[in-house]
Structure 1
Amino acid sequence: MRVFPFVISLIVVAGAVAWQQGLVGAAAQAPKPKAPPPPIPVIATAVKVEDVPVYGEGIGTVQASNTITVKVRVDGELTKVVFKEGQEVKAGDILAQIDQRPFAAALAQAKAARAKDEALLANAKADYDRYKVLVPKQAASQQQLDTQSALVAQYQAQIAGDEAAIDNAQIQLDYTTIRAPISGRTGVRLVDEGNIVHANDEGGLVVITQLKPVAVVFTLPQDRFDDMQAALARGPVSALAFRRDGVTKVGEGTVALIDNQISSDTGTLRIKAMFPNDDLKLWPGAFVNVKVLLDTHHDVVTIPAQAIQRGPDGFYVYVVKPDDTVEKRAVTTSGISAGTASIATGLAAGDQVVIDGQYKLTPGARITLRPPPAAPPAKSVSVGAPA
């Protein structure tokens, strides 16, 4: 009966092995804990406190400060054209010449008439002086003296008329030399050399446009009237002109005036600004976008406009916390201009807000900051080059 204890030992050993294998199987079947999600890469920027300019924006048209159609003032043959089309001229520069010979002859004739009348006057004065001596001696009558005195006055009047005729002939002669009345740029020549021109010709000789300075007339909504008036009361108001893309600046000037009435058709006020235009980027007839500086708000909390998101309850941003997570924070804005948002409530200096990657975020999400992309290098563009 020694077999019985041995069997019992085998049963105990087998049970222990089975129990151990059960523990191992249970451990193998137990679920493993999930790894945390990777942080979300975003770009963030610090909240700034800065001065924010307040602009009024409108669309305007460039106008020449002066436009003159040069016309001839006497009739004759156009013997010489001095200017070139598109040339910059200064006031007083010679543009063209009309045949001077008829006018020089008229001037010489007027001077000759004056010389004749001066000779007659001298003779009349001599006779008058003689009569003055003879009348007291009763060698001549008083009537003869009075007649001679009237004759002297007549010749003096004739000489005055001769002087006026000489001045008029000189003016007519001067008109044969056509000069630029203003400084500016000439346009297309309207009359060719050799033509007969007249003072009453409608077309004129050439149009001169003054481009330095140049004016821009633009409109603002009538709601901006009080702001514009207040800005002008504080001093000169700066104006910036941009191309139609709204980015390329083509001039800086100052507001000259507000029109004396608001358009009842459009509800806008017309404003005129003057620009030095030294680089000639503003050309008459072109449309430009204009910004006028109405005011400057100081110490304003600002962030890039792309940081702001719109939700059912209003605007919000994602703020980066010290533990590299984000929180959703409601904000209110006082205005957005040129890609910058002015924050009225919700943020303070030193906060960091997410400006790229917000669509992947939820409150409490872990993030990793990545640097902003480098600005692309400037491209060289050749006008007229094939693409």
Structure 2
Amino acid sequence: MNKSIIAVAVAIASLSLAGCGSEPSQAAAQQQLQTIDVAKVLVKPVQNWHTYTTRLEAPQEVALMPRVSGVIEQISFQEGDAVKQGDLLFKLDPRPFAAVVDSLKAQIASAQAALSQAQSEAKRAERLTERKAISTEQAESRTSTLRQREAQLLALQAQLQSAELDFQFSEVRAPIDGIISRANITKGNNVLAGQSVLTSIVSNQKMYAYFDIDERTWNQSFARVTAESGQQVVMQKVAETAFAHRGEINFIDNQINHTTGTLRVRAVFDNDEQQLRAGSFARIKLAASQVSEQVIIPERAIGTDLKNRFVLTVAEGNVLEYKLITIGERYGSLRAVSSGLSKDDIIAVNGPARVGPGMPINPNTVTINSDGVAFTLSADSADLVAKQ
């Protein structure tokens, strides 16, 4: 009797303990699920961006050479300074040129006197011929002498004009506005006309950037672009984090290069702040003219699996699912996805850092922030694009 009572009591106690332990175990299992931020993907109208490398070129560049030979007497600029068209840069010793000018002026004075005498004799010959007081041969000789004196005077006047130009060219002046380099030849050295490179000047108010677009890309994305359409571009220099310089296409070559299959295009940039230098390496970014809708997700949501890109989506039962994707253009901290996701997909926004496929999670719903991101290039959004 006592043994039966004890056995029943033990059984009841065991059932009670089992019942008490089931509820905490279920709560503990719930607490073990990781809380993961998830969000529904965005769908936005976007323009694809194309990036090209280039080097900046000045619209005008001059290797400055003297037009006359001589000895440098004076250098009138600070190396590396900005110069204006017409500024005096070099001065050659002007005395040899001045002497030639003076000599020709004297010869012209003599030729004018000889011409005056020849004119008088020719007029006298006409009067004498009318009275038959001089032979026809003598009259023609005096007329011929007059023509020779006229030709001699014209030749000397032409020589004087050339000599005066040489005298002017003894002062070497800036042919364009721009930034001047160092003096390659210093004071006291002899220079040769058309051979000695004194210095160089590059214009600095604008900068050109030439780049080549392959034929397929041009036909797909830029076929409607013309030099007059003002297609906007942005540029990034070496060590810059943003595409901070804005310009526009102002030249498209007239034919495809049959050797490379590319089309040469030029963008022009204002350089009012003097931040651009000729020869600088740069990256050009320009938007395709066509606008299409694409799925947008955060860059950090994308994982890499060998050569594949993937994201983790939330499936039934809040279980993560592996999905391969094809990525498109980057827009700030966001990335377009050209295939692999639909507009209704929900993704793990922080990527596969702490979770993996097949793992159940405790989802925390958030919103993908696209404020301050320009997905298409317009007058209002160009500044935002430049910062991306």
Q: Render the CA deviation track for 1:282-340: whole Å, top value 9, x for unaligned.
A: 3333322222333332444422243345789985543599x9x5775958657243441
Q: CA deviation at 1:97?
A: 0.6
Q: Please tell me the residue identity of whatever aligns with 1:143.
A: E
Q: CA deviation at 1:15?
A: 7.3
Aligned partners of 2:299 and 2:335 also within 8 Å = yes
Question: How many positions carry a matched residue from both structures?
Answer: 357
Aligned partners of 2:49 and 2:286 also within 8 Å = yes
Q: Please tell me the residue identity of whatever aligns with 1:341.
A: A
1:161 counterpart residue number: 155
Where 2:204 maps in the other structure, the secondary structure is: strand
Q: Percent identity?
A: 22
Q: Aligned pair in 2 of structure 1 residues 71, 297: CA closer, same or farther (>3 Å)?
A: same
2:16 counterpart residue number: 27
Q: CA deviation at 1:248?
A: 2.8
Q: CA deviation at 1:168?
A: 0.5
Which of 232, 235, 253 is the matching residue for 2:225?
A: 232
Where 1:138 maps in the other structure, the secondary structure is: coil
Range with greater deviation from structure 2 (355-364 or 80-89) = 355-364
Which of 103, 120, 137 is the matching residue for 2:97?
A: 103
Q: Aligned pair in 2 of structure 1 residues 98, 138: CA closer, same or farther (>3 Å)?
A: same
Which of 311, 314, 318 is the matching residue for 2:313?
A: 318
- Tell me, in whole angstroms, the C-alpha distance in 2 between the residues paired with 1:221 and 1:40: 49
Aligned partners of 1:301 and 1:343 also within 8 Å = yes
- Tell me, in whole angstroms, the C-alpha distance in 2 between the residues paired with 1:101 and 1:45: 85
Aligned partners of 2:100 and 2:163 also within 8 Å = yes
Kindly report structure 1 stretches of 4+ aligned residues shifted beyond 6 Å: 14-18, 310-314, 370-373
Q: CA deviation at 1:222?
A: 5.3
- Tell me, in whole angstroms, the C-alpha distance in 2 between the residues paired with 1:129 and 1:270: 70
Q: Does 1:216 align with 2:206?
A: no
- Tell me, in whole angstroms, the C-alpha distance in 1 between the residues paired with 2:39 and 2:87: 60
Q: Does 1:367 align with 2:363?
A: yes
Aligned partners of 1:79 and 1:194 also within 8 Å = yes
Which of 78, 86, 90 is the matching residue for 1:92?
A: 86
Q: Please tell me the residue identity of whatever aligns with 1:198.
A: L
2:335 counterpart residue number: 340
Root-mean-square deviation (Å) = 3.8
- Tell me, in whole angstroms, the C-alpha distance in 1 between the residues paired with 2:221 and 2:94: 55
Q: Does 1:146 align with 2:123?
A: no
Q: Aligned pair in 2 of structure 1 residues 227, 283: CA closer, same or farther (>3 Å)?
A: farther
1:53 counterpart residue number: 47
Where 2:151 maps in the other structure, the secondary structure is: helix
Q: Structure 2 stretches of 5 or more lacking a match? A: 370-388
Q: CA deviation at 1:367?
A: 1.9
- Tell me, in whole angstroms, the C-alpha distance in 1 between the residues paired with 2:161 and 2:367: 82
1:353-364 equivalences under 5 Å are 353-356=347-350, 358=352, 359-360=354-355, 362=358
2:384 counterpart residue number: none
2:124 counterpart residue number: 130
Q: CA deviation at 1:18?
A: 7.5
**Higher Cα Rg: structure 1 or 2?**
1
Q: Structure 1 stretches of 5 or more lacking a match? A: 1-10, 374-387
Q: Aligned pair in 2 of structure 1 residues 311, 117: CA closer, same or farther (>3 Å)?
A: closer
TM-score by length of 2: 0.76
- Tell me, in whole angstroms, the C-alpha distance in 1 between the residues paired with 2:341 and 2:191: 76
Q: Please tell me the residue identity of whatever aligns with 1:365.
A: I
Range with greater deviation from structure 2 (192-201 or 239-248) = 239-248
Aligned partners of 2:235 and 2:284 also within 8 Å = yes
Aligned partners of 1:237 and 1:294 also within 8 Å = no
1:188 counterpart residue number: 182
Where 1:230 maps in the other structure, the secondary structure is: coil
Q: Render the CA deviation track for 1:154-175: whole Å, top value 9, x for unaligned.
A: 1111111121011101110011
Where 2:223 maps in the other structure, the secondary structure is: helix
- Tell me, in whole angstroms, the C-alpha distance in 2 between the residues paired with 1:166 and 1:330: 87
TM-score by length of 1: 0.76
Q: Please tell me the residue identity of whatever aligns with 1:92.
A: G
Q: CA deviation at 1:76?
A: 2.0
